[in-house]
C-alpha cells in the first residue's frame, strides 16, 4: 500500500488507471501498458495485481465506516481497494445492488469521501467514454 | 427587526451608564452582560454594542458575501441585518447562556475569535435556511454555479442539509447520490452512466431523479 501511495500522483491518474482496468476486464479494449504515461502504467499494473487477489468486492464495502469519517483524511483516500471492489461488483449484477447501496450511503454521509470519490471517478468516466468512443469508431 | 434591538436600551440604561466606570474592563463587561439580574445589564449591553457591533457586522458581511444566491445581491443589507439580529438572539437567549458558557473571561482576543465563529455559524444557518430554496429555483446550470461559489464551510453544511432533508423525505440513497453527483460534482448524464454502481441505468433516469429531488428540496425548504 505504501508503494501505491507514493506512486499515486493524483486522483485523476488513479481514475484513468481504473478505467483502463475496467475496459480490459469488460473486453472493451485491450490495454497496451506501453501506451500509457509512466504514472498511469505503474498504477495500472499495481491495480491489476491487486485485483487478482480480491475474490469478491463485498469484503471491502462492508468495511466502510458507518456515518461520516471522523478524521481529516477520507476513508476512501487510504482504501483504494474500494474502487477495485466496485469494478468487481459491477461484473456481478446480482450482488451489485446491495453493495452499491453501502457505497452510496457512505458517500452521502461523508462529504470528504464524496469529494474524493468524484475527483477520482471524473478521470475514470472521461477515460471510459474515450475508450468506448475509440472502440465504436474502430468497429465502424 | 434591527431597530427593536436598539429599543432595548432606554434612558434608564443611559442613566445607569453614567454610574459605570467607562470603558468597563472586559471581564466586568462580560459579567454584567451575562447577568440579566444586574442593574447594569442594559447599560452593559449598550457598551457591548458600541464595542463589538462593527466586528459583528464585519464577520457577518464576510460570511454572507461568500454566497452567490440569485437574489442575494438585491437583499444583501437586509440579510446582513437579519443575521446580526440572529447573533444577538443567540447571545441573549436562555438568560444569556452563551455568554455565561464562554470560559476565557479575561481574554478579549479569544472572545473575539469565539464571537467570529458564532457569527459565521449564525450567518451560515441563516443563509442555508433562506437561500437554499432560491438556489434550487434557478436553471440547473445556475444551480451548479451557485453551489460551486459557496464558501467551503458552507458547502459542507449545505451538503449535509440536502442529504438529511432528502432522507427525511424517504428518498433512496442511490437517488440522493445521483443528484449530488450531477449538481455538486458537475457530472453529466453520460459520465454518471459510466460509473460502476450506475451501470445499466435507464435513459432519462438522471433527469427524472434530479428534477424530482429538486422539487422535494424546494418544498421542504419552503415549509
Inter-chain touch B177–A125, beta carbons under 8 Å: no
**CA of B167 to nearest chain A CA: how many angstroms apart?**
10
Q: Residue B169: how many CB atoms within 10 A of its CB?
A: 13
Q: Please report which confidence band the pLDDT of residue A47 belongs to, taking 50, 70 and 90 as the band edges.
A: confident
Whole-number average pLDDT of chain A = 79
Is a pLDDT exceeding 90 seen at residue A106?
yes
DSSP string, B82-130: HHHHHHHHHHHHHHHHHHHH---TT-HHHHHHHHHHHHHHHHHHHHHHH
Cell numbers found for residue B13:
440604561
Contacts of B199 in chain A (CB under 8 A): 90
Is a pLDDT exceeding 80 seen at residue A59?
no
Find the mean pLDDT for residues A114-135. Answer: 88
Contacts of A67 in chain B (CB under 8 A): none
pTM of the prediction? Answer: 0.71
Cell numbers found for residue A85:
471492489
Which among A86, A101, A118 is the nearest to B174, CB-wise?
A101
Model pLDDT, residue B115: 96
Inter-chain touch B194–A129, beta carbons under 8 Å: yes
Q: Please report which confidence band the pLDDT of residue A56 belongs to, taking 50, 70 and 90 as the band edges.
A: low
Contacts of A61 in chain B (CB under 8 A): none
ipTM: 0.84
The answer to whether B83 and B122 have CB atoms below 8 angstroms apart is: yes
**CA B60 – CA B67 distance, rounded (Å):** 12
Model pLDDT, residue A2: 46
Residues of chain B with pLDDT under 50: 1-16, 18, 223
Contacts of B190 in chain A (CB under 8 A): 125, 129
CA angle A26, A27, A29 (to 5 degrees): 115
Which among A22, A108, A132 is the nearest to B173, CB-wise?
A108
End-to-end CA distance of chain B: 22
The percentage of residues in chain A with a pLDDT greater than 70, rounded to a whole number, is 76
Inter-chain touch A104–B190, beta carbons under 8 Å: no
Q: Which residue has the cell 475496467?
A: A22
The alpha carbon of residue B170 and the mean position of all alpha carbons in its chain are separated, in whole angstroms, by 26
- Phi, psi angle pair for A19, to nearest 5°: -65, -40
Model pLDDT, residue B33: 94
Find the mean pLDDT for residues A5-29. Answer: 77
Model pLDDT, residue A64: 82
Amino acid at each position: 500500500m505504501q508503494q501505491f501511495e507514493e506512486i499515486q500522483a493524483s486522483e485523476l491518474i488513479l481514475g484513468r488507471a481504473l478505467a483502463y482496468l475496467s475496459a480490459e476486464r469488460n473486453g472493451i479494449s485491450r490495454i497496451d501498458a506501453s501506451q500509457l504515461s509512466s504514472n498511469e502504467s505503474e498504477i495500472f499494473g499495481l491495480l491489476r495485481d491487486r485485483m487478482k487477489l480480491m475474490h469478491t468486492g463485498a469484503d471491502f464495502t462492508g468495511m466502510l465506516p458507518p456515518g461520516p469519517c471522523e478524521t481529516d483524511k477520507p476513508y476512501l483516500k487510504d482504501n483504494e481497494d474500494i474502487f477495485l471492489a466496485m469494478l468487481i461488483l459491477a461484473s456481478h449484477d446480482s450482488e451489485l445492488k446491495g453493495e452499491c447501496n453501502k457505497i452510496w450511503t457512505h458517500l452521502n454521509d461523508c462529504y470528504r469521501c464524496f469529494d474524493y470519490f468524484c475527483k477520482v471517478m471524473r478521470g475514470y468516466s472521461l477515460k471510459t467514454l474515450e475508450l468506448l468512443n475509440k472502440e465504436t469508431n474502430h468497429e465502424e | 427587526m434591527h431597530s427593536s434591538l436598539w429599543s432595548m436600551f432606554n434612558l434608564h440604561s443611559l442613566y445607569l451608564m453614567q454610574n459605570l466606570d467607562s470603558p468597563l474592563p472586559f471581564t466586568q463587561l462580560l459579567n454584567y452582560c451575562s447577568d440579566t439580574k444586574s442593574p447594569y445589564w442594559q447599560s452593559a449591553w449598550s457598551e457591548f454594542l458600541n464595542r463589538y457591533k462593527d466586528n459583528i457586522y464585519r464577520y457577518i458581511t464576510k460570511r454572507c458575501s461568500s454566497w452567490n444566491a440569485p437574489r442575494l445581491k438585491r437583499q444583501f443589507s437586509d440579510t446582513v441585518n437579519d443575521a446580526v439580529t440572529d447573533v444577538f438572539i443567540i447571545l441573549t437567549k436562555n438568560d444569556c447562556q452563551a455568554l455565561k458558557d464562554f470560559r476565557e473571561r479575561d481574554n478579549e482576543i479569544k472572545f473575539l475569535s469565539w464571537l467570529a465563529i458564532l457569527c459565521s455559524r449564525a450567518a451560515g444557518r441563516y443563509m442555508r435556511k433562506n437561500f437554499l430554496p432560491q438556489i434550487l429555483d434557478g436553471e440547473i446550470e445556475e444551480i451548479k454555479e451557485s453551489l460551486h461559489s459557496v464558501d467551503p464551510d458552507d458547502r459542507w453544511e449545505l451538503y449535509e442539509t440536502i442529504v438529511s432533508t432528502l432522507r427525511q423525505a424517504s428518498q433512496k440513497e442511490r437517488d440522493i447520490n445521483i443528484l449530488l453527483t450531477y449538481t455538486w460534482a458537475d457530472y453529466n448524464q453520460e459520465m454518471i452512466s459510466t460509473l460502476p454502481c450506475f451501470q445499466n441505468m435507464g435513459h432519462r433516469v438522471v433527469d427524472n431523479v434530479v428534477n424530482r429531488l429538486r422539487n422535494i428540496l424546494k418544498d421542504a425548504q419552503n415549509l
